[in-house]
A = this chain, B = another copy of it.
Amino acid sequence: MKQITGIRKMQQHCATLRAQGEKIGFVPTMGHLHEGHLSLVKRSKKECSPTVVSIFVNPTQFAPHEDFDRYPRDINRDKNLLKQLGAEVLFTPKTGQIYPEPFLTSVVVDGITEIGEGVSRPKHFQGVTTIVGKLLNIIQPAVLYVGQKDIQQAVILKKMIHDLNMPVSVKLCPTIREKDGLAMS
């Protein structure tokens, strides 16, 4: 598995893959991978080649009362899991490169972001749409894999991609549950 940190390097690598006719499948994550994430990687491995996974704990989708610094991180464990599944590329960009100062642009989906989870986390979905928009522009995958567990997020991302004519298909994948029925998270 190839790990890439620089944005420009990632863009170049993906451009080369596309020029070779490869169909890139993309799974964006914030790391701390569980069976839910891994099911997306497996689905991408079946349908695309190569599979690109990003691990980026995105500060702009945390609310002020949520603890960004305490979000669980274990990159070595995550890397081992992804290697076992045969993911080809891991993208681990740095926060300072993703949000260089002054960072002024956002992608906003109105209406469906202010309800549900958006009530207690007013800027959360704007953080999600902006980072996923950026990652899609960097990687330019053929297919984006997202879990149905975060159904509001999935609907919002589909809407963004449709409204902005972003050249990627979205596949929603089933929720993976613990033995007791609880959705993995």
Contacts and interface: CB of A to CB of B under 8 A. Distances in A.
A133 B136 CA distance: 13
A111 to B, nearest CB: 5
A140 B105 CA distance: 20
Contact of A105 (B7, B138, B163): B163
Given A104-B109, A105-B129, A107-B164, 16 more contacts: A11-B165, A11-B167, A15-B167, A102-B111, A103-B163, A104-B110, A104-B112, A104-B163, A105-B159, A105-B164, A106-B107, A106-B110, A107-B107, A108-B108, A134-B163, A137-B166
A160 interface: yes
The complex is assembled from copies of this chain, and their number is 2
Interface residues of A, number: 28
Interface of A: 7, 11, 15, 102-112, 129-130, 133-134, 137-138, 140, 159-160, 163-167
Contact of A111 (B11, B104, B133): B104
A110 B107 CA distance: 11
Residue in A105, A129, A130, A163 with the greatest tally of chain B CB atoms within 10 Å: A105
Contact of A140 (B102, B107, B164, B167): B167
Contacts of A106: 107-108, 110
